[in-house]
């Protein structure tokens, strides 16, 4: 018994002084958040206050350049040709209430071509409608219960190297993601929905720029500030927008871009660089998305760079365990949406994405909305679970964990109704 107690005490002691492996456990305690001060969105790098909307437009350019250089990398200006091919069309979807169609977007540049397939749903109102646009994780067929929507072959085109990277599309997934993309509810509220598989835009693995949209720009070698996959996904969303501008069923000036998790990071970056997106929604985007990097809560800059080296510009590595040196933080990314509305949503159990850091980011972006005479985040204390707050910045922390759920969509629809 005595020996047992000694062992127990020793065991406790060894927990008290963590081994190196234990020291790198993510921090999930508020008391473990370091002291930090955030860079001011309304202060020029050279000093000098942003006092007017005209100043902000200059400051905005400065911030975009900083995010390009230090975080996401700079995407090329599109100088190729876009061609849309209709794959299938069903004007009698949902017993005639809606239309559904499949469109393949071909992007050609200097003899090279990539394509990605869009799945479009819209109400048969006879009038152009506002719409949501978002990348999906597992393929368009996961948003369809019938066989008309084919399983993507991006895996085959992009070779087996993707095999190890997860999120492989397969027939087994057909219809499985409809709860995450509740098109019936979206349509009945008078909105369209456009979705596409992110792996067709840029496969989610470190391929040295050979596949996806990167392949259109072979002269853009991987360097410290070149575009990573998040920027590639965002760039693809802009090409979809190019196409949507020519569609008669949609109001292109009322397109909300939305994404979950890594695709929430991509939606935010798309909204930052392309102001045609009239409303921007980040669902559980976390580190490198809506959450403040300086809090080092849950996923950190070092962790994300080590796990996903292809997502960001290589320069972002300079800030591993060195967040205070970042010239920007993610509240300034949210501020880049101003005066357009932006919504940030967290899941209370999704601590990896730092729900509180996402909320504080909304608060810290609000002075830029105030410059436009608009209310950003209406409150400064994090709202209780399942109690959304909506100004020109919207926020909720819902019960449950990581995911894009019908509850989230209800808030996005309300927020879109409020602003469109």
Residues with active-site annotation: 261, 402
Angle between helices 229-244 and 262-273 (to 10 degrees): 60
Shortest distance, position 330 Cβ to ligand GCU, whole Å: 12
Could you tell me the smallest distance in angstroms from the CB atom of residue 226 to ligand GCU? Answer: 20
The structure tokens 């008391």 sit at 31
- Which residues are bridge partners to 99 per DSSP? 122
Q: How far is the CB of 286 from ligand GCU (least distance, A)?
A: 5
d(CA 102, CA 140): 9
* C-beta closer to ligand GCU: residue 330 or 366: 330
**Shortest distance (Å) from residue 299 CB to ligand GCU:** 5
Q: Which residues neighbour 82 within 8 Å (Cβ) at sequence distance 6 or greater?
A: 105, 106, 107, 108, 239, 242, 243
- Residue 187 CB, nearest approach to ligand GCU (Å): 27
Cα gap 41→403, rounded to integer Å: 30
Residue 290 main-chain phi, psi, to 5 deg: -85, -20
Q: Which is nearer to ligand GCU, 117 or 299 (CB)?
A: 299
When the beta carbons of 107 and 291 are compared against ligand GCU, the nearer one is: 291
Q: Which two tokens stand for residue 67?
A: 């995010």
By CB neighbour count within 10 A (0-12 exposed, 13-18 middle, 19+ buried), where does 86 fall? exposed
- C-alpha to C-alpha distance for 67 and 326, rounded to whole angstroms: 10
Residue 360 DSSP class? H
Tokens of 285: 């985007």
Supply angle C-alpha 341, 38, 312, rounded to 5. 70
Nearer to ligand GCU, 105 or 304 (CB): 304
Which is closer to ligand GCU, CB of 12 or CB of 307? 307
Q: How far is the CB of 308 from ligand GCU (least distance, A)?
A: 7
SS3 state of residue 132:
strand
Q: Which residues bind ligand GCU (CB under 6 A)?
A: 261-262, 286-287, 299, 304, 307, 352
Residue 191 or 205: which CB sits closer to ligand GCU?
205
Give the Cα separation of 398 and 417 in Å (integer). Answer: 20
User: In the beta sheet, which residues pair with residue 43?
Assistant: 49
User: Taking the CB of residue 28, how many other CB atoms lie within 10 A of it?
Assistant: 11
């Amino acid at each position: 018994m005595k020996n047992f107690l000694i062992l127990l005490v020793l065991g406790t002691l060894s927990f008290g002084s963590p081994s190196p492996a234990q020291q790198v456990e993510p921090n999930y305690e508020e008391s473990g958040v370091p002291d930090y001060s955030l860079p001011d969105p309304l202060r020029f790098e050279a000093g000098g206050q942003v006092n007017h909307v005209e100043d902000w437009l200059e400051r905005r350019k400065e911030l975009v350049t900083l995010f390009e250089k230090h975080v996401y990398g700079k995407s090329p200006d599109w100088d190729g040709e876009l061609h849309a091919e209709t794959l299938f069309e069903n004007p009698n979807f949902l017993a005639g209430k809606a239309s559904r169609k499949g469109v393949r977007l071909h992007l050609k540049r200097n003899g090279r071509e990539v394509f990605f397939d869009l799945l479009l749903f819209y109400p048969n109102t006879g009038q152009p409608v506002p719409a949501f646009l978002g990348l999906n994780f597992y393929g368009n067929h996961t948003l369809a219960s019938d066989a008309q929507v084919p399983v993507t072959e991006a895996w085959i085109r992009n070779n087996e190297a993707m095999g190890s990277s997860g999120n492989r599309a397969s027939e087994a997934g057909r219809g499985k993601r409809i709860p995450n993309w509740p098109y019936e509810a979206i349509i009945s509220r008078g909105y369209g929905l456009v979705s596409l598989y992110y792996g067709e835009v840029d496969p989610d693995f470190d391929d040295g720029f050979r596949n996806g949209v990167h392949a259109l720009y072979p002269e853009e070698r991987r360097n410290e500030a070149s575009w990573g996959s998040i920027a590639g996904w965002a760039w693809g969303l802009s090409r979809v927008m190019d196409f949507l501008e020519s569609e008669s069923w949609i109001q292109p000036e009322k397109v909300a871009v939305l994404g979950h998790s890594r695709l929430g990071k991509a939606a935010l970056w798309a909204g930052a660089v392309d102001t045609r997106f009239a409303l921007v929604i980040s669902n559980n985007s976390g580190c490198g998305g809506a959450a403040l990097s300086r809090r080092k809560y849950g996923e950190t800059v070092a962790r994300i760079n080590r796990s996903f080296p292809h997502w960001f510009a290589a320069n972002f590595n300079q800030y591993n365990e060195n967040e205070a040196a970042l010239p920007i933080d993610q509240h300034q990314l949210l501020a880049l949406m101003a005066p357009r509305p932006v919504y940030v949503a967290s899941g209370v159990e999704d601590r990896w994405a730092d729900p509180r850091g996402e909320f504080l980011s909304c608060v810290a972006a609000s002075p830029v909305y105030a410059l436009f005479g608009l209310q950003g985040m209406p409150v400064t204390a994090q709202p209780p679970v399942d109690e959304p707050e909506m100004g020109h910045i919207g926020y909720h922390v819902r019960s449950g964990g990581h995911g894009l759920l019908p509850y989230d969509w209800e808030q996005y629809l309300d927020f879109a109704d409020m602003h469109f």
